[in-house]
Structure 1
Amino acid sequence: MVYLFDGSFEGLLTCVFEAYSSKERDVSIKNKATYIPSFLDEVKEIETDMGKFERVYLSIPKKISQRAQEIVYRAWLSEDENAPDLIYYFLRIGYKMGGRVTDYLQDQRISKIIDLDRKVGREAHRFLGLLRFKEVTEGIFYAGYEPDYNITILIAPHFVRRLSMQSFIIHDRKRNISAVFDGSELVITDKVPQVGDEKTVEEDEYAALWKAFFKSIAIKERRNPRAQMRFMPKKYWKNLTEMQD
């Protein structure tokens, strides 16, 4: 049986609830937007139900662990095509084993979901230091980036704490979603912010000063490009002012 959901996290956990309630065997959960129909599949489209979602979501830390809840959410943010099935399998085993499931790495599917969790967490951690903001209008700062994973919701609270008195926009250009903070409330939205790309003279001066500082503190004899790319992968350099030259 193939359960189709609307692509949301709430829809996914609604499917988990329905799979448990129906007691059907060999359930596979797929995003209906990317599912490729097959004559061999029996398909059931599941409508998102917030009550059922909450029952599953709140049961995870109670019956498994808080860590398991984080793993499930980050695996979903990975947008891996196999994530829904991995999450369902992880929860099934977790409800039987409890918190020990996160260490059950000899199971390949458990190992895979733990790997997705680590990859998403690693990229989120990197962008806490890599994100660059520029002032687009008076008092509003903008940062545009293109992460591999859907991590905007993970990194935005960090900048709310760091820039608590400052309005800003973090825009994921790849997915066209944004975290918008007005100085008091954080909102995640799929409305693309209208910001100009033209640089001001003042911004050019700041960029030049930053590049000069970056070069002045570098020690030529200790230059290690391989180590640099390990901590700051080259695919991210296009968003870094100091790496533009």
Structure 2
Amino acid sequence: MTYIFDGSLQGLLSAVFEWFDRKPGKVMLKSTEIFQPEAFTENFTVTTDAEKADRVWAGLEKKLRKDWLRKYYCSYLSEIPEAYNHLFQFTLYIFQNQLGAENNYGNEHVIALAKYAKSVEREKHRMEAFIRFQKTGDGLFYASIDPDFNVLPLISNHFKNRYADQQWVIYDLKRKYGLHYNLTTVEEITISFTNGINKQNPSSILMDEDEALYATLWKDYFKSANIVARKNTKLHVQHVPKRYWKYLTEKAPV
């Protein structure tokens, strides 16, 4: 049997509740985004239910340590289609076994979640390190990103604490939503970009008049601090992969 859910975390947890309620036997979980009907497979569409989802999550909180709850959440944020079924099967496994079952790395679902979480955490740290803001004419600091995974929920506190005295927006162009900090709270936002607008690098008309000067000074600093004789491109790319260079002011063409 295939369980079909809406792709949300609440939907996934609701699917777990339905499995224990119905006891249908072996089930594969797929999101509506990738589901393709099969001739000889029975399907069941899961209705997302916040109350049921909360009960399942409360049960996980009793069965798992905080570090594994984070691994669970990070695995969900990976948005990898196969991860959803691994999360579903992992949850069934945890509830059907004694405390500490998550330490059994001989279980394919335990290994899968550990792997997904590691990749997402790595992307989180890189976003925290490589994001560069541009100051707009109205005093707002703006940065656009398109990370491999949905890491905005994980980087919110870092930027709120680090840039507590300025308003900023970090916008995920791939997932079409962002975070806005208004000096008090961080809220999710969506932006309707006008056709023709460069979403990655806003027009200079929209930027603060000193932004270009700051960018030039930053590039000059990196150029002067660079020691040509000690240049190691292979090591540099290992620590700063080329796909992240588009975020770095010092890497932008002069």
**TM-score (structure 2 length as normaliser):** 0.90
Paired residue type of 1:233:
P
In 1, Cα distance between the equivalents of 2:190 and 2:55?
Answer: 27
- For residue 187 of structure 2, what is the aligned residue in structure 1? 187
Q: Does 1:210 align with 2:208?
A: no
Which moved further from structure 2: 195-204 or 11-20?
Answer: 195-204
SS of the residue corresponding to residue 179 of structure 2 reads strand
Pick closer, same or farther for the CA change 1:73–1:131 going to 2, 3 Å.
Answer: same
- Distance of 1:225 and 1:64 partners within structure 2: 43
Which amino acid in 2 is paired with 1:35? F
1:82 is aligned to 2:82: yes
2:63 corresponds in structure 1 to 63
Alpha-carbon contact 1:178-1:193 (below 8 Å) kept: no
Aligned AA for 1:238?
K
Mark the runs of 5 or more structure 1 residues left unpaired by the alignment. Answer: none
List per-residue Cα deviations over 1:74-123 (Å, max 9, x = no partner): 1111011111110012122223142341x322333321221000000010
CA distance in 1, matches of 2:114, 2:69: 12
Q: In percent, how many aligned pairs have the same letter?
A: 31
Deviation at 1:162, TM superposition (A): 1.2
Amino acid at match of 2:72: V
* 8 Å CA contact retained: 2:16, 2:92: no
Residue type at the aligned position of 1:155: I
CA 38–18 in structure 1, closer or farther in 2 if over 3 Å, else same: same
Contact 1:176 1:192 survives alignment (8 Å): no
What is the letter of the counterpart of residue 90 of structure 1? F
Question: SS state of the match for residue 156, structure 1?
Answer: helix
Q: Distance in 1 between matches of 2:243 and 2:182?
A: 30
- 1:38-117 alignment to 2 at 5 Å? 38-95=38-95, 96-101=97-102, 103-117=103-117
2:203 to 171, 181, 198: 198
Residue in 2 that maps onto 1:222: 230
The equivalent residue for 2:33 is: 33
Q: TM-score, normalised by structure 1?
A: 0.93
CA contact (8 A) 2:87 2:109 kept: no
| Rounded Cα–Cα distance in structure 1 between residues aligned with 2:223 and 2:135 | 24
Query: Given that residues 77 and 151 in structure 2 are in contact (C-alpha distance below 8 angstroms), is that contact kept between their aligned partners in structure 1?
Result: yes
- Cα distance in structure 2, aligned partners of 1:11 and 1:152: 20
Work out whether residues 61 and 67 of structure 1, in 8 Å CA contact, stay in contact via their aligned partners in 2.
no
Kindly indicate whether residue 149 of structure 2 is the aligned counterpart of residue 149 of structure 1. yes
Count residues in correspondence: 244
Cα offset, 1:68, TM superposition: 2.1
Q: CA deviation at 1:193?
A: 6.6
Q: Give the secondary-structure state (helix, strand or coil) at the position aligned to 1:117.
A: helix
SS in 2 for 1:82: helix
Partner of 2:188, secondary structure, is strand
Separation in 2 of the partners of 1:190 and 1:37?
33
Aligned residue runs from structure 1 range 128-139, under 5 A:
128-139=128-139
Cα RMSD between the aligned structures?
A: 1.8
CA pair 118-76 structure 1, distance change in 2 beyond 3 A: same
- Partners of 1:116 and 1:25 in 2: CA distance: 26
What amino acid maps onto 1:99 in structure 2?
G
